[in-house]
């Protein structure tokens, strides 16, 4: 039976993004104080430390990855893949018209980073975590209303930046999406004070008047404080600070927010036409063409909200009637991430992707990430790990892993090779071949004691990585809770993916020799 949820709504044992982060905060330290925060500084600290500490940790980790110049792509892919819901959302966005107008199908996180760009995927991961954190409760109608407006504004702002041929359109989208993070966080976590502000607004007070009288500060200032605290990007901070000489991206965000607020009064509202004319001048279009663009973007905004896991938010985004002639585009199929079961269609797509990347001369790290993801998501294992021999060939060392407790497995996966007869790893490198382990499947004469101490998995398999016929490492994959063993179909698919790295190594070696 599932245990009770913690104050953040998680169940015991439930996986979270970046599980390797240990914040070192006692369980009772995060309990909310009975006294309400007072003043802007206390509210920033309250949201940061008691209501959304996991978000701060996520942002900090992503910043550390983006600042790592030593192959950060793999680290980002691994971090996202630890969270199945995050993986599904990133892939949906990677296949959307918003991010992928060329419509080249993206089946893996590694490929998403190639197609969208490293920074875009990192920013999407942060935004997904923000949206997840803010959909937890509070004065829900206020939260979803704010969220509907920022999703609408974000898609419109990105389109405006693209029409102006500004190269920062992806950054514009995220900055617009998070530009009211303080407002959303307050309505979500503001408690009794949020209820008082809600009552003041319902009584007819203006936003500024109600906020100053109830809080003593404006919620925009809370957005500024949180953006600085979490280092949510210079563009967002510049937008919130209100630069006197606004750049094209900042102007696009301001225009988009004005439009998103006004269109809530209806697509035929008197004030909308003036805004549309201003947008048309900004984008270099006729008013008629601009209105068509805005209508199409509103449809896309509702879809994008759903991709972020906020379908109810998308329903609140004002869209034109079908008579406006807006046709919703059909998105390419994106496989949902559910149970760890074999998915032959996904396997085929990833294998084609790997073949194409090998033919294009992609580096081995990129191929490796695709293979790991193919084994993890396509073949359907709970954990998958890649290990290499040390230069003196006396140790096998885990290099990268995916799945539950993957980081702990990688750190512990170090085995000395001393020629001991019967030991799994000594026998494997003496006679490299694919093997599987489990009831009735473990090869006779093979001892698994060292592997079991580290992996503690009932069912597992390994396959060699060869360079010019010589083993240089292996892939390991397991099913930690499966009652059945690794069946023939799963075992064959695992071997096929493992062979791709050997092919990539051979191709890279031939390329160097020919060069």
The CATH number of the domain holding residue 175 is: 1.10.3210.10
Residues 306 and 349 placed together within one structural domain of the fold: no
Cβ(291)–Cβ(276) below 8 Å: yes
> Residues 183-221: pLDDT tens digits?
999 999 888 999 999 999 999 889 999 999 999 999 999
Taking Cα atoms as reference points, which of 282, 218, 234, 289 lies closest to residue 256? 282
Q: Which helix (H) or strand (E) holds 70?
A: none
Q: Phi, psi (5° rounding) for residue 173?
A: -60, -50
Radius of gyration of the chain from its Cα atoms, rounded to whole angstroms: 26
Q: What share of the chain is helix, strand, coil (3-state, %, to 5)?
A: 60, 10, 35
Residues 468 and 417 placed together within one structural domain of the fold: yes
Residues 315 and 366 placed together within one structural domain of the fold: no
Q: Say if residue 5's pLDDT is above 80.
A: no
Cβ(81)–Cβ(373) below 8 Å: yes
**6 within a domain of the structure (yes/no):** no
CA distance 430 to 210: 76
Q: Say if residue 323's pLDDT is above 70.
A: no
Quick check: helix, strand or coil at residue 125?
A: helix
Quick check: helix, strand or coil at residue 396?
A: strand
DSSP state, 224?
Answer: H
- Mean pLDDT throughout 46-52? 82
CA distance 140 to 136: 8
> Residues 6-17: pLDDT tens digits?
444 443 444 444
Residues 231 and 311 placed together within one structural domain of the fold: yes
Domain ends where: 274, 289, 324?
Answer: 324
| Distance (Å) of CA 439 to CA 315, 325, 436, 482 | 51, 61, 10, 12
Q: Say if residue 276's pLDDT is above 90.
A: yes
Residues 317 and 414 placed together within one structural domain of the fold: no
Residues 302 and 430 placed together within one structural domain of the fold: no
Residue 339 pLDDT class (50, 70, 90 cuts): very low
Token pair for 500: 């791709």
Question: What residues have CB less than 8 Å from 62, skipping those under 6 apart?
Answer: 76, 79, 122, 125, 126
**Whole-number percent of the chain with pLDDT over 70:** 83
Residues 318 and 354 placed together within one structural domain of the fold: no
**247 within a domain of the structure (yes/no):** yes
pLDDT at 329: 46
pLDDT at 366: 81
**57 within a domain of the structure (yes/no):** yes
- Burial category of 335 from C-beta neighbours within 10 Å (exposed 0-12, middle 13-18, buried 19 and up): middle
Token pair for 482: 């499966």
Taking Cα atoms as reference points, which of 89, 249, 236 lies closest to residue 158? 249
> Looking at the whole model, is its pTM more than 0.85?
no
> Residues 211-245: pLDDT tens digits?
999 999 999 999 999 988 888 888 998 999 876 67
Q: Using alpha carbons only, give the angle 492, 497, 502 rounded to the nearest 5 degrees.
A: 115
> Residues 365-416: pLDDT tens digits?
888 888 998 999 889 898 999 999 998 999 999 998 888 778 888 899 999 9
Higher pLDDT, 343 or 416: 416
- Mean pLDDT throughout 410-434? 93
**163 within a domain of the structure (yes/no):** yes
SS3 track for 464-479: EEEECCEEEEEEEEEE
Domain ends where: 290, 324, 358?
Answer: 324
Residues 307 and 394 placed together within one structural domain of the fold: no
Domain ends where: 324, 353, 376?
Answer: 324
Residues 116 and 180 placed together within one structural domain of the fold: yes
Question: What residues have CB less than 8 Å from 436, skipping those under 6 apart?
Answer: 442, 459, 460, 461, 485, 486, 491
- How many structural domains does the chain have? 2
Residues 159 and 215 placed together within one structural domain of the fold: yes
The overall average pLDDT reported for the chain is 82
Residues 250 and 221 placed together within one structural domain of the fold: yes
Check the CA dihedral 402-405-411-415 and report its sign.
negative
Cβ(16)–Cβ(58) below 8 Å: no
Residue 23 pLDDT class (50, 70, 90 cuts): very low
| Distance (Å) of CA 50 to CA 11, 42, 317 | 18, 11, 31
- Report strand pairing: 383-389 vs 395-403: antiparallel
**331 within a domain of the structure (yes/no):** no
Residues 233 and 359 placed together within one structural domain of the fold: no
Higher pLDDT, 72 or 174: 174
Residue 112's domain spans which residues? 27-324
> Residues 243-267: pLDDT tens digits?
667 789 999 999 999 999 999 999 9
**Beta-carbon count within 10 A of 31 CB:** 10
Higher pLDDT, 18 or 409: 409
- CA 208 to chain CA centroid, nearest Å: 35
Question: What residues have CB less than 8 Å from 307, skipping those under 6 apart?
Answer: 89, 92, 93, 96
**332 within a domain of the structure (yes/no):** no
pLDDT at 16: 41
**356 within a domain of the structure (yes/no):** yes
The CATH number of the domain holding residue 478 is: 3.30.450.40
- Mean pLDDT throughout 305-314? 87
**75 within a domain of the structure (yes/no):** yes
Token pair for 30: 């995060």
pLDDT at 180: 92
CA distance 28 to 399: 36
């Amino acid at each position: 039976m599932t245990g009770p949820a913690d104050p953040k709504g998680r169940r015991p044992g439930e996986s979270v993004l970046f599980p390797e982060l240990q914040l070192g905060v006692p369980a009772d330290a995060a309990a909310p104080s009975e006294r309400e925060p007072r003043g802007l500084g206390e509210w920033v600290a309250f949201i940061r430390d008691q209501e959304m500490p996991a978000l701060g940790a996520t942002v900090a980790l992503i910043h550390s990855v983006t600042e790592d110049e030593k192959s950060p792509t793999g680290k980002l892919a691994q971090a996202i893949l630890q969270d199945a819901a995050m993986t599904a959302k990133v892939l949906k966005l990677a296949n959307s018209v918003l991010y992928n107008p060329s419509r080249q199908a993206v089946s893996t996180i590694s490929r998403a980073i190639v197609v969208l760009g490293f920074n875009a995927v990192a920013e999407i991961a942060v935004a997904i975590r923000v949206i997840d954190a803010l959909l937890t409760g509070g004065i829900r109608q206020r939260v979803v209303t704010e969220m509907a407006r920022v999703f609408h504004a974000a898609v419109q702002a990105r389109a405006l930046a693209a029409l102006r041929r500004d190269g920062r359109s992806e950054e514009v989208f995220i900055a617009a999406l998070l530009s009211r993070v303080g407002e959303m966080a307050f309505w979500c976590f503001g408690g009794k004070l949020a209820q008082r502000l809600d009552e003041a607004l319902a009584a007819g007070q203006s936003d500024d008047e109600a906020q100053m009288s109830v809080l003593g500060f404006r919620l925009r200032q809370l957005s500024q404080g949180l953006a600085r605290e979490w280092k949510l990007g210079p563009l967002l901070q510049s937008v919130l600070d209100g630069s006197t000489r606004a750049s094209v991206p900042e102007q696009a965000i301001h225009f988009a927010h004005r439009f998103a607020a006004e269109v809530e009064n209806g697509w035929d509202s008197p004030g909308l036409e003036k805004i549309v004319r201003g947008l048309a001048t900004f984008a270099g279009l006729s008013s008629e063409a601009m209105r068509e663009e805005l209508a199409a973007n509103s449809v896309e905004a509702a879809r994008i909200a759903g991709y972020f896991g906020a379908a109810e938010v998308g329903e609140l985004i004002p869209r034109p009637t079908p008579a406006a002639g807006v046709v919703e585009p059909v998105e390419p199929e994106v496989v949902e991430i559910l149970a760890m079961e074999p998915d032959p269609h996904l396997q085929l797509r990833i294998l084609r992707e790997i073949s194409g990347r090998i033919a294009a001369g992609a580096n081995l790290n990129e191929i490796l990430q695709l293979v790991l993801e193919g084994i993890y998501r396509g073949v359907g294992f709970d954990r998958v790990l890649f290990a290499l021999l040390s230069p003196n060939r006396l140790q096998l060392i885990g290099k990268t892993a995916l799945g539950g407790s993957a980081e702990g497995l990688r750190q512990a996966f170090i085995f000395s090779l001393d020629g001991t007869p019967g030991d799994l790893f000594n026998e494997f490198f003496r006679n490299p071949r694919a093997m599987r382990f489990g009831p009735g499947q473990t090869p006779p004469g093979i001892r698994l004691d060292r592997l079991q101490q580290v992996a503690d998995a009932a069912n597992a398999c390994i396959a060699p990585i060869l360079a010019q016929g010589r083993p240089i490492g292996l892939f390991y994959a397991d099913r930690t809770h499966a009652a059945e063993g690794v069946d023939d179909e799963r075992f064959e698919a695992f071997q096929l993916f493992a062979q791709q790295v050997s092919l990539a190594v051979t191709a890279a070696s031939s390329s160097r020799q020919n060069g």
